[in-house]
Amino acid sequence: MARYAMAIDTKRCVGCADCVVACQTENNVPIGYCRDWIVQDTYGEYPNLSMEIRSERCNHCDDSPCVRCCPTSASHYAEGGIVLVTHDECIGCKACITSCPYDARYVHPEGYIDKCTFCIHRVKEGEDPACVAVCPTHCMIFGDLDDKNSEISKVLRSRKYKTLIPEAGTKPHVFYLL
Name the site residues for ligand SF4 (rule: CB under 6 A). 8, 13-19, 22-23, 26-27, 35-36, 38, 55, 57-61, 64-66, 70-72, 74-75, 83, 85, 90-96, 100, 102, 104-105, 113, 115-119, 129-131, 135, 137, 139-140, 170
Look at residue 79 and give the partner it binds from ligand SF4, other proteins, none, a contact being a CB closer than 5 to 8 Å depending on partner kind: other proteins
Helices (H), the chain: 18-26, 65-68, 95-99, 120-123, 130-134, 151-158
Look at residue 163 and give the partner it binds from ligand SF4, other proteins, none, a contact being a CB closer than 5 to 8 Å depending on partner kind: none
Enumerate residues 114-143 that contact other proteins by CB under 8 A.
114, 117, 119-122, 124-125, 130, 133-139
What does 13-29 look like in DSSP terms, one character per residue? Answer: -----HHHHHHHHHTTP
Look at residue 156 and give the partner it binds from other proteins, ligand SF4, none, a contact being a CB closer than 5 to 8 Å depending on partner kind: none
Identify which of residues 48 and 133 has a Cβ nearer to ligand SF4 in the complex. Answer: 133
CA-only gyration radius of the chain, Å: 16
Work out how close the CB of 112 gets to other proteins at its nearest, in angstroms, rounded to a whole number. Answer: 5
Could you give the CA distance from residue 169 to residue 160 in angstroms, rounded to a whole number? 20
Amino acid identity at 176: Y
Give the residue among 159, 165, 171 at the shortest CA–CA distance from 12. 159
Enumerate residues 75-104 that contact other proteins by CB under 8 A.
76-79, 84-95, 97-103
Residues 6+ apart with CB under 8 A from 140: 6, 7, 8, 9, 19, 55, 131, 132
Enumerate residues 52-71 that contact other proteins by CB under 8 A.
53, 65, 68-71
Contacts of residues 69-74 at CB distance under 8 Å and 24 or more positions apart, as own/partner, are: 69/95, 69/96, 69/99, 70/95, 70/96, 71/95, 74/112, 74/113
Work out how close the CB of 153 gets to other proteins at its nearest, in angstroms, rounded to a whole number. Answer: 18
Work out how close the CB of 66 gets to ligand SF4 at its nearest, in angstroms, rounded to a whole number. Answer: 3
Look at residue 116 and give the partner it binds from other proteins, ligand SF4, none, a contact being a CB closer than 5 to 8 Å depending on partner kind: ligand SF4
